[in-house]
Amino acid sequence: MTDHAPQEHRFQAETASLLDMMIHHLYTRREVFLRELISNASDAIDRQRLLALTSAGAGAEADDYRIRLIPDAAAGTLVVEDNGIGMSEEEVVTHLGTIARSGTAAARQGAAAEGQDSTGLIGQFGVGFYSVFMVADEVQVLTRRIEDASGVEWRSSGGEGFQVRRMPDLPHGTRITLHLRRDTPPAAPAVDDAAEAPADERPAAEAFTDPELLRQIVKRHSDFIAFPILLVSPEGSAGVREEQINSTRPLWTRRPAEVSAEDYAEFYHHLAHDWSEPYAVIHQHVEGMREYTALLFIPGRRPVDLDAREHRRGLQLYARRVFIMDECRELMPEYLRFVRGLVDSPDLPLNVSRESIQEDRLLMAMRRQLTRRVLSELAERLGSDRAAYEHFWESFGAVLKEGFHYEPAQAPRLKEICLFRSSSQEGWSTLAEISSRRVEGQSALYYLTGERLDALRSAPQLEALRRRGVEVILLADGIDEIVIAQLGEVDGLPPRSVAQGQLDLEGLPEPPPTEGADSATAVQLEPLLAQLGQQLADRVSAVRVSTRLTDSAACLVDEEGAPSAQLLHILRAMGQEPPAPHRVLEVNAAHPLLQRMQLRAQVSPDDPVLAEYASLLHDLALLAEGTAPADGAGLATRLAAVMTRAMG
Ligand code: ADP
Ligand code: MG
């Protein structure tokens, strides 16, 4: 094959289906294709400028970076051209032939797994380059990297594939020509953001050659782009006129009072590739020993790939408005990895490297300040709009709680902004709220950890406390064991597990009397306890009478100071195999079952039914906390035998 013969490529399957969806379902937001192209052009210029500044001989040019929009109504085309970094042949094939962005791919997979239509999900992420096919039925990309001798042409009509061939004599940068569709847009499909543009106002694709419309779209979506966006129109016989249609003042250099919420939101879309509205914006100029500007966003919803390794995290770093690094992780701690944004400082060298950054004292100081700023912003929002904060918490609370692990020194601040579930409330509570509801004589902050909230809500270990009106914090996130370990006292109350050691009810209010008062009288359980202890010797370390039970017959608790069942579960999930410590079986001396077993044990100690019941009691206690007994088949057999006898 010669250099100039076109080479056929097929789109990756994912891409083909995305394209199809783009063309058929996302029509309501057609104009966003322009924002996507301008955003890509701006990124490409950022990278080219950085290259020129840091490596000698990379064709450093003066400040003539720009993005050109060249509409041609007669031909029905629109050209978007930049003098950014361009793409090599290989880059063209991978970047314009596959879904590069992990978030988009992950969103589609997530949607597919849940069996739902991914149209809405895609909308959350921004659609990137492929959005051109909403308005164009044929697209040509001409591009060259400055160091490459020859450039590349990419062509596609958005169907199954695209063609690529080498092209000599291209200027460096990227020129994208859209052959606009001549159709009128089809009726709006029922997608949730359809309201944004009523059907009759949506421009036909051809209208995107109208200079006035282009001006409006740029103003609305791309005004903050740091490079000039030039609208090119014919003038005179052969001349052209170039008019700059954005203001180019980087958004973060403006005074916060001058920036509208819409401007911030547009900038956030560009920066985070997330179309939803940010939950919070922090825009701050800091002067003094170190000078910098920070523009931070807390997203309004959890990205599907938040925990994936490819999740973009960290902030962008600028030095004197020049982009120098993406995903600078040193600027935000791991537990604030959902925060997006940038930092611009005149005190940073342009040639800062990933290695030097780790030691950089200036950066470490910024990170401390920014961390505190984010936490105090959250505290403020918790106070000012509870519902919105709860929504934030449901998206990011589990991540934020990792702060107790990564930065225990922040525990006092984190404590104030954490929300918890508890045994007496339907919704979320702060620690301060829980502590304010403590009962007379309560000397600890009670909690119970487990894997599932619903299992925790009905855990037998809560019974006695619930009867006394004592609220128990229910912890079902993996990280919660660490939170508890770092929590310290809350208003003088130390945290205390209700599933560990003896539960001391001394000093707590007496429970209200129960209906069948005599059945609630505890009886002496010797010799039953000794017998149960023997029969379960290989499963529990002791059997004793419980103070925590009122309704259930039995429950399992940990020995004082032992790792909890939940912690062991986490260790196992991490691939460790800690020796399982024996737990304590606690029985309810007021329960009729135990009272009858006691009678039986006194009369005929060798009755095999007692052994059968011992095993059942233990397994039922496991089930009550949501754990499957090791010998499930044995349990089933024993239970069936008991049921058969009960039927007479
Ligand atoms: P994203 O911008 O989120 O990465 P896009 O679909 O918008 O996704 O673009 C895919 C990739 O194609 C970009 O990451 C970039 O590498 C490349 N690309 C797109 N447009 C340009 C351009 N004008 N100049 C250089 N590279 C580009
Ligand atoms: Mg893009």
Does ligand 1 lie within 6 Å of residue 87's CB atom? yes
Angle between helices 13-25 and 102-113 (to 10 degrees): 80
Q: Which ligand is nearest to the CA of 173?
A: 1
Dist CA 262 CA 553 (whole Å): 60
82 lines ligand 1 (CB under 6 A): yes
342 C-alpha vs ligand 1 centroid, how far in Å?
A: 20
Residue 305 covered by a domain: yes
Together in a domain, 226 and 259: no
| pLDDT for residue 199 | 47
Full 3-state SS string of 392-431: HHHHHHHHHCCHHHHCHHHHHHHHHHCCEEECCEEEEECH
Alpha-carbon distances, residue 64 vs 146, 177, 321, 344, 417 (angstroms): 15, 21, 16, 22, 48
Question: In this structure, is the dihedral angle defined by the CA atoms of residues 337, 340, 344 and 350, taken in order, positive or negative?
Answer: positive
What is the C-alpha separation between 188 and 30, in angstroms, rounded?
11
pLDDT score recorded for residue 57: 54
pLDDT at 200: 47
User: Which residue reads 């100039």 in tokens?
Assistant: 4
Residues 500 and 228: their CA atoms lie apart, in Å, by 66
What's the domain count of the chain?
Answer: 4
Q: What's 70's domain CATH number?
A: 3.30.565.10
Asked whether residue 405 is domain-assigned, the answer is no
User: Is the same domain home to 184 and 39?
Assistant: yes
Residues 606 and 632 in one domain: yes
**Of 196, 219, 244, which one is at a domain's C-terminal end?**
244
122 and 45 in one domain?
A: yes
Cα–ligand 2 centroid distance for 22 (angstroms): 15
Residue range(s) defining the domain that contains residue 471: 418-511
The verdict on 232 and 335 lying in the same domain is no
Residue 566, strand partner residues: none
Q: Which residues of 77-89 are buried (b: 16+ CB within 10 A; e: fewer)?
A: bbbbbbbbbbbbb
Distance, CA of 39 to CA of 267 (rounded, Å): 10
Amino acid (1-letter code) at residue 638: R
Which atom of ligand 1 sits closest to the CA of residue 129? 6
Which mutation among 36, 95, 177 tests ligand 1's pocket best, with the greatest number of atoms within 8 A of CB? 95
* Nearest atom in ligand 1 to 47's CA: 25
Strand bridging mode 151-156 / 161-167: antiparallel
Q: Which DSSP string corresponds to 581-627? A: PPEEEEE-TTSHHHHHHHHHHHH-TT-HHHHHHHHHHHHHHHHHTTP
> What is the 3-state composition of the chain as percent helix, strand, coil, each rounded to the nearest 5?
40, 20, 40
Which of 244, 265, 286 lies at the terminal end of a domain, its last residue? 244
Compute, in angstroms, the gap from residue 603 CA to the centroid of ligand 2: 81
Expressed in angstroms and rounded, the spacing between residue 396 Cα and the centre of ligand 1 is: 29
85 touches ligand 1 (CB under 6 Å): yes
Q: Quick count: other Cβ atoms within 10 Å of Cβ 47?
A: 15
Alpha-carbon distances of 316 from 18, 88, 274, 295, 602, rounded to whole Å: 28, 25, 16, 10, 75
Q: Report the nearest-CA residue for atom 5 of ligand 1.
A: 128
- CB of 311 closer than 8 Å to CB of 267: no
Cα 200–Cα 201–Cα 204 angle in degrees, nearest 5: 90
How much distance in Å is there from the Cα of 305 to the middle of ligand 1? 20
DSSP code at position 493: B
C-alpha 293 – ligand 2 centre gap (Å):
25
- Measured CA to CA, the distance from residue 556 to residue 306 in angstroms comes to 36
User: Do 112 and 222 sit in the same domain of this protein?
Assistant: yes
| Predicted local distance difference test score (pLDDT) of residue 497 | 93
Q: pTM to 2 decimals?
A: 0.78
What ligand is nearest to the CA atom of residue 79? 1
- List the residue whose alpha carbon is closest to atom 16 of ligand 1: 95
**Does the residue 564 lie in any domain?**
no
| Pocket of ligand 1 contains residue 41 by CB under 6 Å | yes
Question: Which pLDDT tens digit goes with each residue over 550-569?
Answer: 999 999 998 887 777 667 77
DSSP state of 189: P
448 and 589 in a common domain: no
Residue nearest to atom 15 of ligand 1 (CA): 95
Question: Can you tell me which atom of ligand 1 is nearest the CA of 130?
Answer: 6
The predicted pLDDT at position 24 comes to 64
Task: Pull the structure tokens for residue 483.
Answer: 């939170």
Closest CA to 272 of 243, 301, 241: 301
Distance 358 CA to ligand 1 centre (A): 28
Q: Indicate which ligand has the atom closest to the C-alpha of 104.
A: 1
Strand order in 292-298's β-sheet? 280-286, 292-298, 340-344, 315-319, 322-328
Task: Check pocket membership of 174 for ligand 1, CB cut-off 6 A.
Answer: yes
384 plus 475 within the same structural domain: no
Expressed in angstroms and rounded, the spacing between residue 169 Cα and the centre of ligand 2 is: 26
Q: Are residues 432 and 332 in the same domain?
A: no
Task: Establish whether residue 348 lines the binding site of ligand 1, counting it when its CB lies within 6 angstroms of any ligand atom.
Answer: no
pLDDT of residue 103: 47
Segment holding 82, helix H or strand E: strand 77-82
Rounded-to-integer distance, Cα 90 and Cα 101, Å: 17
Q: What is the pLDDT of residue 626?
A: 79
Strands 229-235 and 67-72: parallel
Do 469 and 361 lie in a common domain? no
Name residue, tokens 């030095």.
319
Q: How far apart are CA 315 and CA 92, in angstroms?
A: 27
Residue 435 lies in a domain: yes
Q: Is residue 568 part of a domain?
A: no
pLDDT at 202: 63
**What pLDDT does 158 receive?**
82
Indicate whether 536 belongs to any domain: yes
User: In sequence order, which ranges of 55-99 are alpha helices (DSSP H)?
Assistant: 89-95
For 631, the token pair is 């010998």
Q: Is residue 160 part of a domain?
A: yes
- In 451-559 the beta strands, taken as DSSP E runs, fall at 473-475, 495-497, 540-545, 554-557
Report the chain's C-alpha Rg in angstroms.
33
Tokens of 157: 């009509």
Query: Does any ligand 1 atom lie closer than 6 A to the CB of residue 173?
Result: no
Task: Tell me if 95 CB under 6 Å of ligand 1.
Answer: yes
291 and 357 co-located in one domain:
yes
Domain harbouring 354, CATH code: 3.30.230.80
Residue 78 beta carbon below 6 angstroms from any ligand 1 atom: no
Give the domain-ending residue among 215, 244, 273: 244
Rounded-to-integer distance, Cα 82 and Cα 71, Å: 15
Nearest to 72 by CA among 173, 220, 177, 183: 177
Residue that is written with structure tokens 């996130």 in the block: 477
Pocket test for ligand 1, best of 43, 66, 140 (most atoms within 8 A of CB): 43
The two structure tokens encoding residue 567: 């912690």
User: Are 9 and 93 a contacting pair, CB within 8 Å?
Assistant: yes
One-letter amino acid of 537: A
Distance (angstroms) between ligand 2 centre and the Cα of 94 equals: 14
**Rounded to 5 degrees, what are φ and ψ at 166?**
-75, 145
- 574, part of any domain: no
Q: Are residues 31 and 168 in the same domain?
A: yes
Q: Which atom of ligand 1 lies closest to the CA of 84?
A: 24
DSSP of 241-310 = EEEE-S----GGGS-GGG--HHHHHHHHHHHH---SPPSEEEEEEE-SSS-EEEEEEE-SS--TTTTSTT
- Which residue minimizes the CA distance to atom 17 of ligand 1? 95
pLDDT under 50 in the chain at which residues?
Answer: 1, 60, 101-103, 115, 118-119, 123, 188-200, 516-520
Q: 42 CA distance to ligand 2 centroid (A)?
A: 9
- Cβ neighbours of 312 (radius 10 Å): 15
Q: Which atom of ligand 1 is nearest to the CA of 127?
A: 6
The CATH number of the domain holding residue 429 is: 3.40.50.11260
